[in-house]
Amino acid sequence: MIKKFTFGTPFPTESVVMQLPEASAFPEYLTLSKDQTTLSAALDSDAIVYGLGENVRGINKRGWKYISNCSDDPSHSENKNSLYGAHNFLMVDGDISYGLFIDFPAKVTYDIGFTDLDKMTISVEEANYALYIIEADTLPSIIREFRSLIGQSYIAPKWAFGYQQSRWGYNCEEDIRKVVKGHRDNRLPLDAVYLDIDYMERFKDFTVDEEKFPDFPDFVSDMKKENIHLVPIIDAGVKIEDGYDVYEEGRDHDYFCKDENDEDFVVGVWPGRVHLPDFLNDEARQWFGDKYKFLIDQGIDGFWNDMNEPALFYSEKHLQEVFDKLKEFQDVNLDLYQFFAFKDVVTGIDNNPVDYESFYHNVNGKKIRHDKVHNLYGYYMTRSAAEAFKRIAPDKNILMFSRSSCIGMHRYSGIWTGDNSSWWSHIELIMKMLPSLNMCGFIYTGADTGGFGDQTTEDLMMRFIQISMFTPLMRNHSALGTREQELYQFKDIDSFRNMLGLRYALIPYLYSEYIKAVRENTLMFTPMGIAYPEDPAARHIEDQLVVGESIMIAPVYKQNAVGRYVYLPEDMTLLRFRSADDVDVIPVEQGHQYVNVALNEVLVFVRKDHILPLGPVVQSTADLDYSHFTIYGQSTSPYTMYTNETNTISVTPA
Amino acid sequence: MIKKFTFGTPFPTESVVMQLPEASAFPEYLTLSKDQTTLSAALDSDAIVYGLGENVRGINKRGWKYISNCSDDPSHSENKNSLYGAHNFLMVDGDISYGLFIDFPAKVTYDIGFTDLDKMTISVEEANYALYIIEADTLPSIIREFRSLIGQSYIAPKWAFGYQQSRWGYNCEEDIRKVVKGHRDNRLPLDAVYLDIDYMERFKDFTVDEEKFPDFPDFVSDMKKENIHLVPIIDAGVKIEDGYDVYEEGRDHDYFCKDENDEDFVVGVWPGRVHLPDFLNDEARQWFGDKYKFLIDQGIDGFWNDMNEPALFYSEKHLQEVFDKLKEFQDVNLDLYQFFAFKDVVTGIDNNPVDYESFYHNVNGKKIRHDKVHNLYGYYMTRSAAEAFKRIAPDKNILMFSRSSCIGMHRYSGIWTGDNSSWWSHIELIMKMLPSLNMCGFIYTGADTGGFGDQTTEDLMMRFIQISMFTPLMRNHSALGTREQELYQFKDIDSFRNMLGLRYALIPYLYSEYIKAVRENTLMFTPMGIAYPEDPAARHIEDQLVVGESIMIAPVYKQNAVGRYVYLPEDMTLLRFRSADDVDVIPVEQGHQYVNVALNEVLVFVRKDHILPLGPVVQSTADLDYSHFTIYGQSTSPYTMYTNETNTISVTPA
């Protein structure tokens, strides 16, 4: 049961799809402050708080402060309060259990046992929001009700379950052909290569650099013949450059965000000075979306939207102030206070809060200051594209995912988890984010495999692959200046090939479970405490996940580990895979187990009374074969497998 | 057996205390490059590489690149290559086992399976170094031989095993009295309070701000009466200020580092413009050391040396270049490349490599560029103090520890592990550093409990206390601007009191095991793979440690964890302590175990045939009582307990 409470005059975020009547009785377990901006609740000592989507820390969010404030912060360390998304759904699993969604487009702060271990305090920046309280008998029911409220999640094309390769630094046709060849020559399956910012002409959206790509449509078509999809990046900012059509159209039609004087607001991003399209303006949104046609017409069928928090290197106005301010520090004895102040002037340039308070949207003729609706920007940019796709290519399923997001956007696209790093702790982090994201409606998702920033190592990449192989989005992505991390750059290519082969053999199962999660409003990645609610030993496990209906995974996320502990809430079949074809099948009993896991091995546990059907190993999703499966595990009932968004086949146990 | 190989003309670092003849046969398992700067070795697949002291990552250093280059970097994330110390000892435990020490005062790079998982490559910046290879039957023997080579480790006074409270921000007498009162009122035992930079008059070494401390000697004496030691910080840089005696003396006698024109080199640190004492100049070192007398004469008996990497906010010369450079970016369209270049100009100001190449030491009349001897600076600053203590107060044992360090300095002082953060991963990190530091001779050591940077939480503090309670240095320290984290600031003061009480009850054992580690050249914190070499299941455990001879610890380092897995290589007695007096005594069998651990509980495992003697709970080390012990565990032989540096008593099993 969902109870809706409206405070003040909420901005119409379109995050939810249901019209609900106002509830009358406010729940006793929540306290609303007089000014209606603060909600608080006691947390009993064993209560778990689930949710909040893309964030640092554990599956259980207790013990930290989180702020919904879409932020481009590349250092995902445990002291951060905000990442790229704003996902205002959480679930308390305690003596009293309930779900809670705050439909509000600006800052919301969640003090979940940060100030006081046993108290949760939620502060909304303004008393203009809708609060939804979801009560149900079980956590999966709460999730199901919430997900119905926000509408069905985006469905990605099946090829987007293939292995994908990306790197900031692929510069031209030759670079990309080399990457494809590197995979094909080594029989490393591959479905897509990404075009990061360098494909554009001086970082201008909806351009392709003709020197680097002399005949882009031909190149796209060549790649398609090799079963490779090219996926270009689209940035939020539009370069200010006379003669550049996107800039001139936007300027002429007032499609850009304005400053306080109604001039087009100027900020700096990749191309230097840009304007920000006003995606909250219906006309502007339609206009920008239609621009994707430029690339779709050349054969492109997938995109990633980036820098749409929006990330701001600087605002023109603030930059001028910075240069003025810097002069004050010259010829002064810079002591501790002044030196830090001096550094702060420069390190605080990008994503400066003042800049977000300095520009405006035109929402149905009303001028709205950006910070009041900040968390909608990436959502509405992505919606702009997704709505356009229906006009431009109604019969195609175009891949779309975004860096910034907000609940509501889940209906239009997936997300990746942003600019992570080649850190072992980021293998652990994605494992914790997956169920939290799923709850919030984001099912097509994954982390930059191997890590985007910093230097990877072969063992880190192997262990990262061994978690990413279960996520819908499996993309190897890395930053300019880091070690090259295409899998053929490493020594043990055989093992990487085996892992990718296993991924492709798993796709029929994973895709099917993905479709079920979307259609049935369930989790594709379920925390142990939700999958086994009756088992107290399962309740607090944070490093095992149930994936779909049939399997449990227990990834290795520690460097130099030769094994790990696993808890089995029931008897299971352990599959110790070295490849899809080289597997030890070991019955394992309920209870705590220590299991050896060599670097080239991945563990899959088939749950009691479930089966895992494994398809044949192929080099591309174009070659997926549903005619025969290898079946692991036992069950009395057949497995229902979605082969596309709507059709199922029945796979019979061995 | 130690083999010494000398290449070129090594700088006399005085890291070792033994004169050894040159060895003839170079070991077969090591390959020396033609230019003698690079050593390489194959690593068999199960080999563990121990050592390298203060560093990120695991007890097993495989899979990363480490650079010995003393650095003030406050973000101890896993992508870092250098921290504050340079500890050039490692041990390979594989088919062939050996220890290796590189006696060299500048950069040494260790690629331990970073580039190639199965290869170790060590690059020394110049072919002027001594290489010591240690071969022995067992790892403890290798450690013993190495530690004999470098000389006996520093012994701290026993009061330095008491609980200590610090914070950057304690400003005056009243602040400190409040802290002491906060502990005494709550019966939270305490032995010391630290004076961070604010006690000085405008950050000038060897001054006390008279406004903040109107009668410092009286205050010190007052505190002593309450069994509180005050421990002031000493920074490396000396403020440039006419009339300031330390500055004028140093200037007049040429005791400061020089630039290329033989002018005193100017850098910026806390006070703004400072000179750097030339600790490598014997006269300057003696002069600076004698300055500690100013504080010792006022009753001070403990110091911490800081900023002695040396940390440089800027050099005067470079800062001028920065301001010139910044002008170039004004009125330009700052695109990605230019914007990052602009930011780099400022973010790269501090600890800039060019600055370290811009000043010089006077070593026996020879002008030596700083970067050639960089890693000795903190060592020689601390040595300057320690040597002076023998002149100033020959009968006192004065506490001394340093942030920067190098092997050799271990004879003169302890270290703390620098400016860590309130991160759960930093609880894990200290556990991994402890044995590595011990191998390198640093036994009096510990991490900033609760974390220096970032915001702590009560649960993090509790778990941090539960590891720090076993380390010689147990100091709660935090940075300006972070949440106040004195234990009385939290809710469950009772549990903190219980944990501190247990610490004090453990001090007789811990101090005794500390003295043994120093005298017998053993580890106080032993990795499981070294403690139980015959047990393959113990070999790769990185989150349990043997502490001294009698106990094993298994700290909880995950937020919201309600227990953890523990491996017991032998039957043990589990002590589940809620306080020194409230403990469950549980016999536990050899093997893998899952053990519940509530937030207010700490686990101690007493090893087979060993006993743990626990003293009475006291409020200060001044009240330690050796007359009766509570004995846990069984043994046929009595426990030998050091009650001071040289004397032992025999504690009989129950």
Are residues B64 and A542, on separate chains, in Cβ contact within 8 Å?
Answer: no
Burial A603-636 (b: 16+ CB within 10 A, else e): bbbbbeebbbbbbbbbbbbeebeeeebebbbebe
Write the DSSP symbol of residue A455. Answer: -
Are residues B559 and A491, on separate chains, in Cβ contact within 8 Å?
Answer: no
* pLDDT for res B445: 98
The encoded tokens of residue A483 equal 């070690």
The encoded tokens of residue B218 equal 């009286």
Are residues B203 and A335, on separate chains, in Cβ contact within 8 Å?
Answer: yes
Does the CB of B25 have a partner CB in chain A at under 8 Å?
no
For residue A77, which residues of chain B lie inside 8 Å, CB to CB?
75, 77, 423
Are residues B336 and A270, on separate chains, in Cβ contact within 8 Å?
Answer: yes
Q: How far apart are CA B184 and CA B269, in angstroms?
A: 36
The sign of the dihedral angle between the CA atoms of A513, A518, A520, A525 is positive
Name the one residue in this structure whose structure tokens are 């999660």: A517
Is the peptide bond preceding residue A310 cis, with omega within 30 degrees of 0?
A: yes
Q: How far apart are CA B417 and CA B408, in angstroms?
A: 17
Does the CB of A110 have a partner CB in chain B at under 8 Å?
no
**Residue A24 CB neighbour total at 10 angstroms:** 7
Q: How far apart are CA A488 and CA A38, in angstroms?
A: 53
Question: Are the C-beta atoms of A651 and A631 separated by less than 8 Å?
Answer: yes
Residue of chain B minimizing CA distance to A566:
B565
Stated as kind and residue range, the H or E segment containing B39 is strand B38-42
Q: Residues 6 or more apart from A133 whose CB is under 8 A from it?
A: A2, A3, A5, A23, A27, A30, A98, A99, A100
Are residues B270 and A64, on separate chains, in Cβ contact within 8 Å?
Answer: no
Write the DSSP symbol of residue B310. Answer: T
Question: Are the C-beta atoms of B38 and B121 separated by less than 8 Å?
Answer: yes
| 3-class secondary-structure state, position B57 | coil
* pLDDT for res B331: 85
CA-based nearest residue to B267, from B305, B310, B233: B310
Q: What are residue B99's DSSP bridge partners? A: B91, B134
Classify strands A119-124 and A38-42 as parallel, antiparallel or unpaired.
antiparallel
Mean pLDDT of successive 10-residue stretches along chain A, which has 654 residues: 98 98 96 98 97 98 98 96 98 97 98 98 98 98 98 98 98 98 98 98 97 98 97 98 98 98 97 97 98 98 98 94 92 91 93 97 98 98 98 97 98 98 98 98 98 98 98 98 98 98 98 98 98 98 98 98 98 98 98 98 98 97 97 97 97 89
Q: Which of A75, A339, A594 sits opposite B313 (nearest CB)?
A: A339
Does the CB of A589 have a partner CB in chain B at under 8 Å?
no
CA-based nearest residue to B644, from B504, B503, B474, B515: B515
Residues 357-416 of B with CB under 8 A from A: none
**Residue A19 CB neighbour total at 10 angstroms:** 6
CA-based nearest residue to B371, from B67, B77, B33: B67
CA-based nearest residue to A99, from A55, A66, A42, A51: A51
Question: What Å distances lie between residue A10 and A38, A40, A572, CA to CA?
Answer: 15, 20, 49
Q: Residues 6 or more apart from A114 whose CB is under 8 A from it?
A: A63, A64, A65, B455, B457
Kindly give the parts of chain B with pLDDT less than 70: none
Is the peptide bond preceding residue B310 cis, with omega within 30 degrees of 0?
A: yes
Q: Residues 6 or more apart from B639 whose CB is under 8 A from it?
A: B550, B610, B611, B613, B650, B651, B652, B653
> Which residues of B345-413 form beta strands (DSSP E)?
360-363, 366-369, 399-402, 405-406
Does the CB of A330 have a partner CB in chain B at under 8 Å?
yes
Are residues B58 and A346, on separate chains, in Cβ contact within 8 Å?
Answer: no
Question: Are the C-beta atoms of B60 and B105 separated by less than 8 Å?
Answer: no
Does the CB of B242 have a partner CB in chain A at under 8 Å?
no
* pLDDT for res A654: 78
> Which residues of B420-534 form beta strands (DSSP E)?
445-446, 448-449, 474-476, 525-527
Surface-to-core class of residue B352, CB atoms within 10 Å of its CB (0-12 exposed, 13-18 middle, 19+ buried)? middle
The encoded tokens of residue B477 equal 């320290």
Q: How far apart are CA A53 and CA A406, in angstroms?
A: 10
Are residues A77 and B339, on separate chains, in Cβ contact within 8 Å?
Answer: no
Write the DSSP symbol of residue B66. Answer: E
Name the one residue in this structure whose structure tokens are 């140093």: B250
Burial A294-322 (b: 16+ CB within 10 A, else e): bbbebbbbbbbbbbbbbbbbbbbbbbeeb
Q: Residues 6 or more apart from B149 whose CB is under 8 A from it?
A: B2, B16, B17, B18, B20, B101, B132, B134
Test the A interface: residue of B44, B45, B76, B78 with most A CBs within 10 Å = B78
Surface-to-core class of residue B614, CB atoms within 10 Å of its CB (0-12 exposed, 13-18 middle, 19+ buried)? buried
Name the one residue in this structure whose structure tokens are 């309280």: A133
Does the CB of B341 have a partner CB in chain A at under 8 Å?
no
Question: Are the C-beta atoms of B400 and B414 separated by less than 8 Å?
Answer: yes
Q: What are phi and psi of A605, to 5 degrees?
A: -110, 120
Q: What angle do CA A639, A495, A437 make, to 5 degrees?
A: 50
* pLDDT for res B332: 87
For every residue of B506-570, DSSP letters joined together read: HHHHHHHHHHHHHHHT--SEEEHHHHSTT-TTTTT--S-EEETTTEEE----STT--EEEEEESS
Are residues A594 and B565, on separate chains, in Cβ contact within 8 Å?
Answer: yes
Alpha helices in A261-315 (DSSP H): 282-291, 293-296
The encoded tokens of residue A368 equal 């709205």
pLDDT in tens, B211-251: 999 999 999 999 999 999 999 999 999 999 999 999 999 99
Name the one residue in this structure whose structure tokens are 């640093």: B442
Burial B161-186 (b: 16+ CB within 10 A, else e): bbbbbbbbebebbebbbebbebbbeb
Does the CB of B58 have a partner CB in chain A at under 8 Å?
yes
Residue of chain A minimizing CA distance to B111:
A457
Q: How far apart are CA B426 and CA B433, in angstroms?
A: 10
The encoded tokens of residue B641 equal 């307990």
For residue A478, which residues of chain B lie inside 8 Å, CB to CB?
none
Question: What Å distances lie between residue A73 and A307, A419, A482, B195, CA to CA?
Answer: 11, 8, 18, 35
Name the one residue in this structure whose structure tokens are 């490849």: A579
Does the CB of A116 have a partner CB in chain B at under 8 Å?
yes
Instruction: Tell me the CA end-to-end span of chain A in Å, nearest whole number.
Output: 41
Question: Are the C-beta atoms of B544 and B553 separated by less than 8 Å?
Answer: yes
Q: How far apart are CA B417 and CA A4, in angstroms?
A: 52
Q: How far apart are CA A107 and CA A110, in angstroms?
A: 10
Write the DSSP symbol of residue B117. Answer: T
Burial A239-253 (b: 16+ CB within 10 A, else e): bbbeebebbeebbee
Are residues B323 and A326, on separate chains, in Cβ contact within 8 Å?
Answer: yes
3-class SS shares of chain A: helix, strand, coil, % to 5: 30, 25, 45
